[in-house]
Structure 1
Amino acid sequence: MNRLQSELNRLFRPVPDAAATGAEHAAGGLLDAQGRVRAMRLGLAQTADWRELSLVWRGVQLDLGLPAPAIAVSGLEAIELWFSLAQPVAVAQAQAFLEALRQRYLPELALRRISVWPASVVTTDSGELLPPQQRKSEQWSAFVAPDLAPVFAETPWLDIPPSEEGQADLLRSLSAIKPAEFEAAMSLLYPEPTASAASNADSAGPQSSPALPPGNLNAKQFLLKVMNDEAAPLALRIEAAKALLPYTEGLSGPQSVR
């Protein structure tokens, strides 16, 4: 296993099964055996304007206290941020995080310009490709340094294969988001409403933004809240319900996604 594969594994791929070989781990997808993810991607296309996406890159560090995400050109039409989690989370939690970032930092952008992974439909073979990859003839995806990101607005790709050593060096400087950091960020993105705010929200009817729980809840509680929150997007509620399947025994209270 070379240095680049080691860095991709460290940041984005599932923790390998004890029986898996290094080659099998390097070739694997981004979902673990329980359908959880350590990698999250937020991309911006049409055009791949770093000035807009840099609002997210800076905001997650300054406002949320998170490590800097990796920056990549997609090899097709987008510039991307790749977030790394030290511990895997359910797809619904990852989707809720990315949606909150979109609403906070890119609320005015057309949805067609934004792409995320994990998306609303995620399978074991989701087709998600970590950079670097050849996407078309003379078009490579690659991780890039922040000071070079603006250069790729019109052509978000490299014309030649990127150096594996250079890619590894870029990734080596990055850190994964620790569980406590992720929970704290979710608490800031989805703060617990005060009693008066909750009363006002009830009288005002359904809101456009999901009233998701704070980050200090455990995964099961978080997913239950998302699944039963009628203000949350239906796609998120469905993903939360699927992620709760291992916990179905002993659940009580309302559990249907309406």
Structure 2
Amino acid sequence: MEKLIAQLNRLYLPRGEISPDELLRHLRGEQTTSVSLAAPDRHLRAVMIPFDRMARNDELDHWHQLCAVANVLHADLELPTPAVSVSGNKGYGLWMSFETPMPMERVSRFLDLLRKAYFPDMALPPNVLDAPVEIPPCLNQHTGKWAAFIHPGMGASFAEDAGLEMAPPPAGQVAFLEHLESIGSERFAQALDILQRAIDTHASGVATSTPPVEAASPGKQSAASGSTPADDLLLKDATLEDIVRFLHARNIEPTFRHLIPRQDSHKGSQQDEP
């Protein structure tokens, strides 16, 4: 558990936002504590963009939208790969970490430009930057399911039921986080510049050189990074073999646990009768 706590502190948690004892109880499922990713001086250590299942839409729409945003962040804006989580309830989270705390106004401008340049139909909660969040892994008190960081290639399988039946192994959570990078100030400034130029180009009526983002973009090659779908697991659905290979490469032996639904033995015996 110590390694998991170290990764959460490295990437997402503002200093002093939650005590070590509270965090440990939170991760064990003994309690669920919401924390702010913003410090009192309105600087953000991280941001979580929620993608909740949309009423009356295809059950995969919110997952496809997350993939599209993640691909733009990584390929077009050349930012580090974000983490992906399931909420334990009805959606996903896309997690961006900052190397040094970033002014909230600057991050707000980034999200606004991102939406205008690429995703004009994407709705963001008005308090997306300062609303308290439940850091995965943790137990969702409303559903009884676990929020957790996931292998991005597994995302589509959680579209209908975005949570785990059991607590995820801490070593597996560490494996999904330990190679992630935080966004440096210079890279963030470059991304803002790219977005502003895209907005200016659209406003001037000149066709942008950036191809339009397709919602269902899994399987396509990342032009900016030069990676193939096999290398960039945000761009494809992973097979079971992919997941096992990913964990074995980090010296983790995966354990796949499932809850088997109970069957009414009396009802079953009636069905067996001729």
The normalised TM-score by structure 2 is 0.60
Query: Structure 2 CA distance, aligned partners of 1:184 and 1:172?
Result: 25
Listed as ranges, the gaps of 5+ residues in structure 2 are 25-32, 206-274
Q: Which residue of 2 is the match for residue 206 of structure 1? A: none
Cα offset, 1:158, TM superposition: 1.1
User: What fraction of aligned residue pairs are identical, expressed as a percent?
Assistant: 28
**Equivalent residue of 2:133, what SS?**
coil
Cα offset, 1:151, TM superposition: 0.8
Q: Which residue of 1 is the match for residue 158 of structure 2? A: 152
Residue 93 of structure 2 corresponds to residue 80 of structure 1: yes
Q: Which residue of 2 is the match for residue 44 of structure 1? A: 51
1:169 maps to which of 168, 175, 180:
175
* Contact 1:41/1:117 (<8 A) preserved: no
Q: Which residue of 2 is the match for residue 130 of structure 1? A: 135
Cα offset, 1:21, TM superposition: 7.8
Q: Which residue of 1 is the match for residue 75 of structure 2? A: 62
Residue 18 of structure 2 corresponds to residue 12 of structure 1: no
CA pair 192-152 structure 1, distance change in 2 beyond 3 A: closer
Compare 164-173 and 131-140 and name the one that shifted more.
131-140
CA RMSD in angstroms, aligned pairs only: 3.2
* Contact 1:50/1:149 (<8 A) preserved: yes
**Equivalent residue of 2:197, what SS?**
coil
Cα offset, 1:138, TM superposition: 2.9
Matches within 5 A, 1:172-183: 172-183=178-189
Cα offset, 1:16, TM superposition: 5.7
Q: Which residue of 2 is the match for residue 108 of structure 1? A: 121
**Equivalent residue of 1:142, what SS?**
strand
**Equivalent residue of 1:84, what SS?**
strand
Query: Structure 2 CA distance, aligned partners of 1:21 and 1:29?
Result: 13
The normalised TM-score by structure 1 is 0.63
Query: For each residue in 1:168-207, what CA deviation from the matched residue of structure 2 results, as whole angstroms up to 9, or x when unmatched?
Result: 111001100111100000111123998x999x89xxxxxx
Q: Which residue of 1 is the match for residue 247 of structure 2? A: none
1:31 maps to which of 30, 33, 38:
38
CA pair 193-137 structure 1, distance change in 2 beyond 3 A: closer
**Equivalent residue of 2:107, what SS?**
helix
CA pair 176-37 structure 1, distance change in 2 beyond 3 A: same
Amino acid at match of 1:128: V
* Contact 1:40/1:116 (<8 A) preserved: no
Amino acid at match of 2:10: R
CA pair 158-24 structure 1, distance change in 2 beyond 3 A: closer
**Which structure has the bigger radius of gyration?**
2
CA pair 142-93 structure 1, distance change in 2 beyond 3 A: same
* Contact 2:88/2:143 (<8 A) preserved: no
Query: Structure 2 CA distance, aligned partners of 1:33 and 1:134?
Result: 27
* Contact 2:51/2:91 (<8 A) preserved: yes
Query: For each residue in 1:13-43, what CA deviation from the matched residue of structure 2 results, as whole angstroms up to 9, or x when unmatched?
Result: 22569xx986589886422242211111112
Query: Structure 2 CA distance, aligned partners of 1:197 and 1:117?
Result: 28
Matches within 5 A, 1:87-102: 87-102=100-115
Query: Structure 2 CA distance, aligned partners of 1:169 and 1:97?
Result: 29
Residue 149 of structure 2 corresponds to residue 143 of structure 1: yes
Work out the number of aligned pairs and report it. Answer: 189
